[in-house]
Amino acid sequence: MAGQEFAEGFRFPPGFLWGAATAAHQVEGDNRASDWWAAEESGRLPHRSGRACDHLRRYEADFDLARAFGHNAHRLSLEWSRLEPEPGVRDEAAFGHYERVLEALRARGLEPVVTLHHFTAPRWFAERGGWLAADALDRFAAHVDAVVERFGSQIRWWITVNEPTVLAKHGWVTGDWPPFVRGRWDLAFRVIHRLCTAHRRAYRCIHARVPDALVSFAHSIPWIEPCDPSRTLDRLAARLRTIFLVDWCFDRVRESGRRLLDYVAVNYYTRSIVRWRPRGRALLFGVDCHEPHHGPRLFDDLDQELWPEGLLQVLRRCARLGLPVLVTENGIATTDDGLRLAHLRGHLEALARALGEGVELRGYLHWSLMDNFEWAKGTTARFGLAATDFATLERRPRPAMRLLAEVARTGRLAPTGSEVTSA
Ligand code: FCB
């Protein structure tokens, strides 16, 4: 989508946040008190996270790397199961660890964007029924309160829960993630509702202690469009998918007529082209369409379509909520450096176009700093700006990391073809 408008390049606003996003279980390693670790040990998941990227011990070197490549922000999650390994028991060593992690970010000029719940929970929480248990919301609220009491003054950007719809879908519909329930959209929507309620309580808790905090939940927002726009039922399928998987969460975080959000945290990866199928489980949302009339489409190793234009569409749509927007995830699973560069370049252009149109975009956090433990896919899906050698744990910056560094350092997206791809 480059075109004429970037012939002179594009200038990003001063203070724009540039960085990468991570999640504790995917990078830290040895996340033993979590429900995911338990599920890995039980053999119900195909991979074990083990030491993952050993970020638990290597976080300073990782933050050095981020800084050396121009980042000024970093998204991380504080692992609930480390901080509260048993109900009501706060682990002071874990609090101390995250204290040092936040200090290490500050020392390197990296603005922390902190997630409180990124898919994993303490094992005890899952064993008591997880998000569907009667006291789930109270348990999470007590945890949030402890975190905010300790770290509140050090964190401006907060993400309460990560991707309610994705967690609910994998845990209660496709059943490939804990708690491995299949085909229960009814439970999935209860879980989404609970996560949105958990967000509202966390929002109020954070603001009670940190009035100027910026709080959101991270929402997975694909760009959804009908397979054949002239077919009413395809349009209906796309509409229903958008209502239930995108808009519903934005409605659930309302309280007394206002959304409890200070910004919109967008995780954007792909587009879904939807076709109506009037039978079976996909009734409500239609099915993904792969018909040839859409022309050649590029997919990554997880079969997600590379579609930068969709980020622009999603940003325009989010801007209609009347809030600033932060891209809290965007990335591609591939080992092909050319494809990764094309992906990054395309999405940077989408950011530039959105800003050019007046979207209040605050920053871009790429998923992820380095290849890491990609949930049920283990280390087979490579999302890193830096490649991780899982035998030696060495991180090797990829060309896309250099492109992002160039843009972050100069604040300028050079015209197509002139980007710097070597160190
Ligand atoms: C998102 C998750 C993140 C990572 C990326 C690839 O849905 O939030 O943890 O797995 O996908």
Q: What is the pLDDT of residues 373-407, one digit of tens each?
A: 999 999 999 999 999 999 999 999 999 999 999 99
Mutate to test the pocket of ligand 1, among 26, 163, 330 (most ligand atoms within 8 A of CB): 163
Average pLDDT over residues 169-185: 96
Q: 36 CB less than 6 Å from ligand 1?
A: no
pLDDT above 90: percentage of residues in the chain: 91
pLDDT tier at 2 (50, 70, 90 boundaries)?
very low
Rounded Cα–Cα distance for residues 280 and 291 (Å): 20
Which atom of ligand 1 lies at the shortest distance from residue 163's CA?
8
Share of residues in the chain with pLDDT > 70 (%): 95
**Is the distance from the beta carbon of residue 383 to the nearest atom of ligand 1 less than 6 Å?**
yes
Residue 65 pLDDT greater than 50, yes or no: yes
Can the peptide bond before residue 179 be classed as cis, meaning omega within 30 degrees of 0?
Answer: yes
pLDDT tens, residue by residue, 118-164: 999 999 999 999 999 999 999 999 999 999 999 999 999 999 999 99
3-state SS, residue 279 = coil
Atom of ligand 1 nearest to the CA of 23: 9
Q: Model confidence over 247-260: pLDDT tens digits?
A: 999 999 999 999 99
Confidence of residue 1 (pLDDT cuts 50, 70, 90): very low
The answer to whether the CB of 300 is under 6 A from ligand 1 is no
- For residue 286, what pLDDT is reported? 79
162 lines ligand 1 (CB under 6 A): yes
Does 373 contact ligand 1 (Cβ within 6 A)? no
In this prediction, residue 294 carries a pLDDT of 81
**Which amino acid residue places its CA nearest to atom 10 of ligand 1?**
374
Among protein residues, the one with the nearest Cα to ligand 1's atom 9 is 23
- Condensed to tens digits (0 to 9), the pLDDT of residues 35-59 reads 999 999 999 999 999 999 999 999 9
Residue 421 has pLDDT above 70, yes or no: no
Higher pLDDT, 358 or 284: 358
Q: Of ligand 1's atoms, which has the minimum distance to the CA of residue 302? A: 6
pLDDT tier at 418 (50, 70, 90 boundaries)?
low
pLDDT at 3: 47
Q: Does 417 score more than 70 pLDDT?
A: no
Cα 10–15–19 angle (5° rounding)? 85
Pick the residue whose CA is nearest to atom 5 on ligand 1.
367
User: What's the pLDDT score for residue 278?
Assistant: 64
Q: How many helices (H) and strands (E) does the chain have?
A: 14, 17
Query: Rounded to the nearest whole angstrom, what is the distance from the C-alpha of residue 158 to the centroid of ligand 1?
Result: 17
Q: Which two tokens stand for residue 95?
A: 């609090």
295 Cα to the center of ligand 1, angstroms: 27
Q: 367 CA to middle of ligand 1, Å?
A: 8
Return the pLDDT at 287.
83
Instruction: For residues 362-369, give the mean pLDDT.
Output: 99
20 CA distance to ligand 1 middle (Å):
12
Kindly give, in sequence order, each residue whose CB lies less than 8 Å from that of residue 216, ignoring residues fewer than 6 positions away.
Answer: 158, 159, 160, 261, 262, 263, 264, 265, 326
- Run of H or E including 145: helix 136-151
Is 329 touching ligand 1 by the criterion CB < 6 Å?
A: yes
Ligand 1, atom nearest to 162 Cα: 8
pLDDT of residue 41: 98
Which atom of ligand 1 has the smallest separation from the CA of 220? 7
Any atom of ligand 1 within 6 Å of the Cβ of 16: no
Tell me how far apart the alpha carbons of residues 372 and 220 are, in angstroms, rounded to a whole number. Answer: 19
46 burial class (0-12, 13-18, 19+ CB within 10 angstroms)?
A: exposed
Stronger pLDDT, 323 or 422, i.e. the higher one = 323
Q: What is the pLDDT of residues 268-292, one digit of tens each?
A: 999 999 998 766 555 567 788 877 7
Measured in Å, residue 15 CA sits from the centre of ligand 1 at 26
Query: Is the minimum distance from the CB of 367 to ligand 1 under 6 angstroms?
Result: yes
pLDDT of the residue at 412: 97
Q: Which two tokens stand for residue 168?
A: 């609910």
> Which mutation among 27, 266, 267 tests ligand 1's pocket best, with the greatest number of atoms within 8 A of CB?
267
Would you say residue 4 has pLDDT above 90? no
State whether the beta carbon of 79 lies less than 6 angstroms from ligand 1.
Answer: no
In three-state secondary structure terms, 395 is strand
Residue 86 has pLDDT above 70, yes or no: yes
**How many A from CA of 154 to the centre of ligand 1?**
25
**pTM score above 0.85:** yes
CB-ligand 1 contact for 220 (6 Å cutoff): yes
Longest dimension (CA), the chain: 60
What is the structure's pLDDT at 282? 54
Tell me if residue 321 falls in helix, strand or coil.
coil
Per-residue model confidence (pLDDT) at position 5: 61
What mean pLDDT comes out for the span 338-352?
98
